[in-house]
Chain A
Amino acid sequence: MRGAGCGVRGAMTGTVPLSAYLILSAALFAIGVIGVVIRRNALIIFMAIELMLNAVNLTFVAFSKFLGSMDGQIIVFFVMAVAAAEVALGLAIIIALYRNKESVNVDDINLLKG
């Protein structure tokens, strides 16, 4: 992968190298994963998932620019639309739960166990 980036980098002198974007987005993705795993508030977990999706979007745009193909940027639009739908739905579900339960802490969501 680094090879692909280096090949194009020569033509794009003076710009930020591809590897920088990849490292940043990998770090964001990792922060998102850690957030999902360790945070206990449903809203924060939700934000962490959004962070993961946006890390992926950043990678798509970076690849799209460096590969000179538009496909990546098109996909980002779709991912953003889907993420928006998911957020709308997620908040609705969290509100429905909060009405019955008065809590958004996932540790309190323990009716189902086994």
Chain B
Amino acid sequence: MTQAFNMADLSTALPEVVLSLVAMVILMLDFIVPKGRRDWLGYLSVLGVLLTLMVLCRQWGATQSAFSGQYLIDPFALFFKILFLASGGLIILMSIGYLRGEGADSGEFYALILFATLGMMLMASAVDLLILYIGLETMSICIYVLAGFLKRERRSNEAALKYLLMGGFSSAIILYGIVMLYGLTGATGLKEIASTLTADTLSNPALILAMVMLAAGFGFKIAAVPFHMYIPDVYEGAPTPITALLAAASEIAGLVILLRVFLVAIPGLQDRWALLFYVLSLLTMTVGNVVAIAQSNIKRMLAYSSIAHIGYLLIGVVAGRELGISATLLYTVVYALMTLGAFAMVILLCVGEVKGERIDDFAGLAQRSPMAAAAMLILLLSLAGVPPTAGFVGKLYLFGAAIERGYILLALIAVVNSAISLFYYMKVAVAMYMRDLPPAGLALSPSRPLRVVLFVTVVGTLAIGIYPGPFLDLAKSSIAGLW
């Protein structure tokens, strides 16, 4: 019998080990560093993320499984791990100024973000239903705490409770799907499940039930309509950096396990789940975009817009195979960049009593700070999918993949939806450029880390928009050998 645990396995998971060590060190330093000087724990966390990235990049191009085949290092996992780490680093950078403003600076906050990122990395590498579940819960439990981090603020309490109840509920549904798969096949590894399922068992109603349960549970995690009810409330109530974490990282992590499970474990049912995701994608983008029009709170508007973007991402899953999945991968990067940028702008406007959460708070921004207004305009154009931004390129490949595979109607509806979305994004742009500055407007004083976040996201959005080639090649090479 082979050894259950050895050093080779541990070195395969070295980036995860490094990240968890960094998070624990931050937790301990939290006791030593006096309140008010905990900013530098944030900078230390970012250094830890960079260190993890360096360790991670040594796995470039490698494919290796560890821990009795439960954990897999492959280009697909690496792609998403880099994305999660980068998002985590940017979110920590934008938290530093935010926490100081709220008077809640603490090392726990950074440590929890790091642990949540660790959970996402586990999810990206999981090829076993158990590891997948553990990763999912590691991420979720950290985010429950983070959503309720501002203990004295009732909206934050509410967001945490709602997210906890819906998160627990959806986890239970996912588990029921997992147990069904286990009962049918006697295996928990995704590859083993696929090889055990024969043409005979593929029509088993229990398998269909398992598929529907998993799709519903993942639907909750990625905020697909009709499982989205709690999302706008949670987004509005949670501290803004955590809203960014939820939108840009946690939803993408949900999408990663969705892709893994459906593509690797039950590819035999592709006809059925493609239909399921077709309906989900259609509902998600339409409801997300239509409801977003009526919002006056920018965090709620961005919540609905993120729901709509999940709908676009699902188009790639429906289209499937190299073209669709690589378009989905490319769009996850684009989506993460522009969402992080947009939430960083909300934090930027959070000065004194103004929370920066109403669309009215953006009025006259062009007079207050032309640079900030220009940055926001680029992000909004990218969210709406206008060239030459990344949003346009991402959508072009997604919709192109749908058309190539014969889903003309879906692509058409997606284009109509993009047009609708332009309307409410431009509402913010009009407020920035056409309306006068309210007399009470204070001068903006963005902290240095926040400037870095805005710079990175805006430049990234433009870079992918103007020169998408290398990013598309990376997405394409990342899905090689996935199924």
Contacts and interface: CB of A to CB of B under 8 A. Distances in A.
B374 interface: no
Given A45-B165, A72-B182, A111 B158 contact: yes
B130 A42 contact: no
A74 B130 contact: yes
A85 B141 contact: yes
Interface majority SS on A: helix, strand, loop or mixed? helix
Contacts, number: 132
A55 B213 CA distance: 15
B406 interface: no
Contacts of A67: 183, 186
B3 interface: no
A22 B184 CA distance: 13
Interface string B229-240: 000110011000
Contacts of B175: 53, 56, 79
Interface string B305-341: 0000000000000000000000000000000000000
B232 A100 contact: no
B172 A114 contact: no
A89 B233 contact: no
Task: Report which residue of B171, B179, B233 has the largest number of chain A beta carbons within 10 angstroms of its beta carbon.
Answer: B179
Interface string B171-190: 11101101110111011100
Contacts of B165: 36, 42, 45-46, 49, 90, 106
A82 B204 CA distance: 31
A60 B233 CA distance: 34
Nearest to A75: B130
B144 interface: yes
Given A36-B169, A59-B183, A60-B182, A89 B164 contact: yes
A16 to B, nearest CB: 16
B103 interface: no
B164 A75 contact: no
A23 interface: no
A82 B151 CA distance: 23
Contacts of A114: 232-233, 236, 295, 297, 300
Given A56-B176, A112-B237, A90 B183 contact: no
B25 interface: no
B162 A109 contact: yes
B155 A89 contact: no
Contacts of A89: 141, 144-145, 164
20 contacts: A29-B176, A52-B172, A53-B171, A53-B172, A55-B176, A56-B175, A60-B179, A63-B182, A75-B130, A78-B130, A82-B141, A82-B171, A86-B141, A86-B168, A93-B144, A96-B148, A97-B161, A109-B161, A111-B237, A112-B233
Given A52-B172, A111-B154, 14 more contacts: A52-B176, A53-B172, A56-B176, A63-B182, A71-B187, A75-B129, A93-B160, A101-B154, A101-B157, A111-B158, A111-B237, A112-B158, A113-B233, A114-B232
Interface of B: 129-130, 133-134, 137, 141, 144-145, 148, 151-152, 154-155, 157-162, 164-165, 168-169, 171-173, 175-176, 178-180, 182-184, 186-188, 204, 206, 232-233, 236-237, 295, 297, 300
